[in-house]
Structure 1
Amino acid sequence: MEQNVLAEHKAVYLTAEDLRVAASIIYNAYHDDPFFIEALATTNQASYEQKLRAAIREELTELWQQEQPLIGWFDGDRLIGVACVITHQVPLGESRYWHWRLKMVLGTGWNSTQALIKKEHSILESLPSKQYGILQFIALTPNEQSKGNGAKLIEAVLSWCDEQPDLDGIGVFVNNPKHAELFAREGFNHLSELSIGSVDGEILIYPSK
């Protein structure tokens, strides 16, 4: 998939060589996310950051191995944004593969892994059908924000979604009002409120066209 939008900006599927940079972009974007702060709870900042890196690394590896869409937003040859979707073709939530559970437990601990599974299960239970995908991560490098790149990356994800005959749409859990506004402008609709642990947010969905 390749989508030329402005100048040298383009959306393409990530390669294995892109995963390290993608993990770094996601890590920086989700470092202060309330869900991860609670799910990976620790009194030690260094320990939290280590667990967050492990969680992102293992999830990216799993998505790659399961051939799930990992969409990169590039400025020329430079990766500046990432969007990761996981579909119904992969067991999610409480049905996650044992090897994913084991690696995640080793990297983040039992309680953190259970929190991640619970979040996914809660989102799945809220979606209109089992044929919906979940937008697991979407992130931009800090110096590329507020330039319209976020909207273009979302547009690339929705374009991909519309091309999938077996997908009814995409859902995403959002706990930041500004992010919710951006998704709404790009065609997502509010579905329901959802609290995961003590983190309040909402489920937004995009039905495929």
Structure 2
Amino acid sequence: MLADPWFQDQHRVRHHANTGPDKSLELLSSAITRKPACQNCCARRSSVNTRPFMSLPAAITGEVRQLDSGYSRETRSLLFRAYRHDPTFAYLFNAEREGYEQRVLATIRQLVKQHFLQDQPALGLFLQDRLVGVALIAPPQRRLGVTESWAWRLRMVMDTGLGCTQRYLAYYNAVLACVPSETVHVLPLIGLDPEFQGQKLGQDLSEQLLGALHDWCAVDERSQGIVVDTGNPRYLEFYKRQGYEEIGEIAVGPVREHVFFHPNPQVSLPVPDVTV
């Protein structure tokens, strides 16, 4: 599915955490620490391809890397924190009813698990070896359709209920109906750590991750562009500034979901040879 996890919506979803005042780059950078890792985690990561895809500016001291299933747990954790206050998710999984966060967590778990099971690509944004941004990518030639799996649907019904699963499937299909062709990259899930959302640094990081996605997708000559969508009108101008065109609008309950398309992104920096 597609959603806009770049920033939390502070007005439309209850129990939104206060993001706090803006901080300088220096204070934020100094506050970033590496999480302790056990020997099992170290062994797991030794098999993960962490070759840098594109270095970020020195002031941010980060980089974008390709991810695989070795980072599945961290990917799920970050995307859950990014999506649990998303207005679209709040409607799809009924934020007013008890157990909302468990339903969001279960959905993120199933989507990420299926994405890596299908060996589809993902990019991660790191600051001092800490994962702070994630984008799952569904390339045109390998978009197998997560929701077409009956096993996946059964797990969703068991974890979120029949009503929420039906809402999700209707939303997912409505977004795909706006996709201009089969030869595009679709971003099923994309999110930034909420710690950086609502700040200037958060916007910079969002632009860095999106720029890396453009460079990555541009390498595939078969692709005609990238599709993403958002249910928050505050971010329409953000996507337009990045070169996206609005190609559709759908109703997700009270939320107006805007579908965007970036035609034929061009490589802006030297890019290593990466298999799509």
Normalised by the length of structure 2, the TM-score is 0.69
In the alignment, structure 1 residue 182 sits paired with structure 2 residue 182: no
In the alignment, structure 1 residue 3 sits paired with structure 2 residue 54: yes
Partner secondary structure for residue 187 of structure 2: strand
In the alignment, structure 1 residue 166 sits paired with structure 2 residue 217: no
Q: How does 1:16-95 map to 2 (within 5 A)?
A: 16-41=69-94, 43-45=96-98, 47-88=99-140, 89-92=142-145
Total equivalences in the alignment: 207
Counterparts of 2:137 and 2:236 in 1: how far apart (Å)? 17
Q: CA deviation at 1:42?
A: 5.9
Structure 1: give runs of 5+ residues left out of the alignment: none
Verify the 8 A CA contact 1:175 1:201 in the aligned structure 2.
yes
In the alignment, structure 1 residue 129 sits paired with structure 2 residue 181: yes
Counterparts of 2:150 and 2:221 in 1: how far apart (Å)? 29
Partner secondary structure for residue 88 of structure 2: helix
Structure with max Cα Rg: 2
Deviations 1:44-88 (CA, angstroms, capped at 9, x unpaired) = 44x111010000000001111112221100012110111112234
Letter in 1 for 2:119: E
Specify whether residues 75 and 49 from structure 1 end up closer, same or farther in structure 2 by C-alpha distance, changes over 3 A only: same
Query: 2:191 — aligned with what?
Result: 139
Partner secondary structure for residue 115 of structure 1: helix
Verify the 8 A CA contact 2:87 2:232 in the aligned structure 1.
no
Aligned residue among 66, 85, 92 for 1:13: 66
Counterparts of 2:86 and 2:56 in 1: how far apart (Å)? 29
Partner secondary structure for residue 165 of structure 2: helix
Q: CA deviation at 1:12?
A: 0.8
- From the two aligned structures, give the one with the greater helix fraction: 1
Counterparts of 1:199 and 1:43 in 2: how far apart (Å)? 15
Structure 2: give runs of 5+ residues left out of the alignment: 1-51, 266-276
Query: 2:263 — aligned with what?
Result: 207
What's the C-alpha RMSD, in Å, of the aligned pairs? Answer: 1.9
Verify the 8 A CA contact 1:92 1:121 in the aligned structure 2.
no
Counterparts of 1:133 and 1:172 in 2: how far apart (Å)? 9
Aligned residue among 209, 215, 220 for 1:153: 209
- From the two aligned structures, give the one with the greater strand fraction: 1
Letter in 2 for 1:164: D
Verify the 8 A CA contact 1:25 1:141 in the aligned structure 2.
yes
Q: Which has the higher contact order (CA 8 A, sep 6+)?
A: 2
Counterparts of 2:262 and 2:70 in 1: how far apart (Å)? 30
Partner secondary structure for residue 62 of structure 1: helix
Moved over 6 A (4+): none
Verify the 8 A CA contact 1:92 1:120 in the aligned structure 2.
no
Verify the 8 A CA contact 1:151 1:182 in the aligned structure 2.
no
% of aligned pairs identical?
29
